[in-house]
Chains A and B, each alone.
Chain A
Amino acid sequence: MSSAPDQALAIRASRGDVEAFRLLVQEHSGLVYRVALRILGAQDAQDASQEVWIRVWRNIENFRGDSTFSTWLYRITVNTCLSVRRKEARRGEREYGGDEMPFLPEPRGGDADPEAAALGGEQREEIQAALGHVRAEHRAALVLRHMEGLSYAEIARVLEVPDGTAKGWVSRGRAAMLIALAEENHGRGAGGPAE
């Protein structure tokens, strides 16, 4: 997840080298902003990203290289995003009564249609809205697994939970996300109702 130059830059930054810190910010600002965007949405992502980098600079003296720099950065990013969410009124996770199955509509051109594979603006909005209805910890695990491509061992290290818990959070997040996405689709009339 991280390269040796990152470790070297982090060690230099931990000794107060601002130029090394600047290089780390430029290299990894995409990772931080992307994760914040997926967990918090566009409105809060910028403030959260700035807060992440303040925390990184303040705490970089504590970075000892036991984990890779990117694992450490993911951890600070996710913790910052979760603390932002905890400050807000808890948004309800979509309930699953168990009577209906959450189905997504078929793509208009069918699965073979290449245009269907590319995300439209409306789909992006639906995904982001649906993510907002997944419990914050489950959402973070889901984002790390299915959007960032981390392994369960890496997710466990980032979230500081046992591997089994990381796996459980991804699994519950995935199910909750499908329910929310099916409802988003149903609400927007993009497809048939969940049957």
Chain B
Amino acid sequence: MMPVGEQRWEMLERIGAYAAGELEGEEAREVERLVFERPEYGRLAESYARMLVMLAALGSEPVEVPEAVVGFAIRRAYASAFMRSAEVFLGALGRSYIDAFVYYLGLRRESYEGGT
């Protein structure tokens, strides 16, 4: 058997699911009967309904996003994209210089030696 505390908690959750309109069939009818028969459960269902209305109302209120959030994100992206491009450019430039230097020192044979 479930301890009393657990039973109460389970009932608390079931009435919450009922108030949110998430129960179906036999389970919905059973909770509905309890809600109508027992005033404390009825009051609990009303409290849940009121809380859900408040949550939905707060959730639908527009929020003002601080300009710093948008500005920061975009600036970071531009800086990061610039760094990526610079890295690619400098990498390619550096490789070209090294290739040229290696060739100048005669450390690398021609890759194309012509047909025999």
Q: Which of A3-11, A47-55, A78-86 contacts B (4 or more CB under 8 A)?
A: A47-55
B25 at the interface (CB under 8 A from A): no
- CB–CB B63/A34 < 8 A: yes
- CB–CB A146/B56 < 8 A: yes
Tell me the interface secondary structure of chain A in the complex.
helix
A30: which of B44, B48, B65 is its contact (CB, 8 Å)? B65
B104 at the interface (CB under 8 A from A): no
B76: which of A57, A103, A143 is its contact (CB, 8 Å)? A57
Cα distance A174–B78 when bound, in Å?
42
A113 at the interface (CB under 8 A from B): no
| Chain A interface extent, by class | 35 or more
**A171 touching B48 in the complex, CB below 8 Å, given contacts A16-B84, A147-B59:** no
**A175 touching B13 in the complex, CB below 8 Å, given contacts A25-B70, A127-B58:** yes
- CB–CB A147/B65 < 8 A: no
Q: How many residues of B contact A (CB 8 A)?
A: 43
Q: Could you say which residues of chain B place their CB within 8 Å of the CB of A178? A: 12, 16, 47-48, 51
Within residues 14 to 55 of chain B, which ones have a CB less than 8 A from any CB in chain A? 16-17, 20, 40, 43-44, 46-48, 50-55
A46: which of B5, B68, B78, B80 is its contact (CB, 8 Å)? B68
**A123 touching B16 in the complex, CB below 8 Å, given contacts A50-B72, A98-B8:** no
Cα distance A45–B62 when bound, in Å?
15
A33 at the interface (CB under 8 A from B): yes
Q: Could you say which residues of chain A place their CB within 8 Å of the CB of B77? A: 18, 21-22, 25, 53, 57
Cα distance A16–B78 when bound, in Å?
10
- CB–CB B73/A25 < 8 A: yes
Nearest CB of B to A81, in Å? 14
A97 at the interface (CB under 8 A from B): yes
Q: Could you say which residues of chain B place their CB within 8 Å of the CB of A57? A: 73, 76-77, 80
Tell me the interface secondary structure of chain B in the complex.
helix
A107 at the interface (CB under 8 A from B): yes
Cα distance A182–B65 when bound, in Å?
30
Tell me the B residues contacting A by CB distance below 8 Å.
Answer: 4-5, 7-9, 12-13, 16-17, 20, 40, 43-44, 46-48, 50-59, 61-63, 65-66, 68-70, 72-74, 76-78, 80-81, 84
Q: Give 25 A-B contacts (CB < 8 Å), ordered by A residue.
A: A21-B74, A29-B65, A30-B63, A33-B65, A33-B66, A37-B63, A38-B58, A49-B69, A54-B76, A57-B76, A96-B12, A98-B8, A101-B44, A103-B43, A104-B47, A119-B54, A124-B58, A127-B54, A147-B56, A147-B58, A149-B56, A174-B52, A175-B12, A178-B16, A178-B48
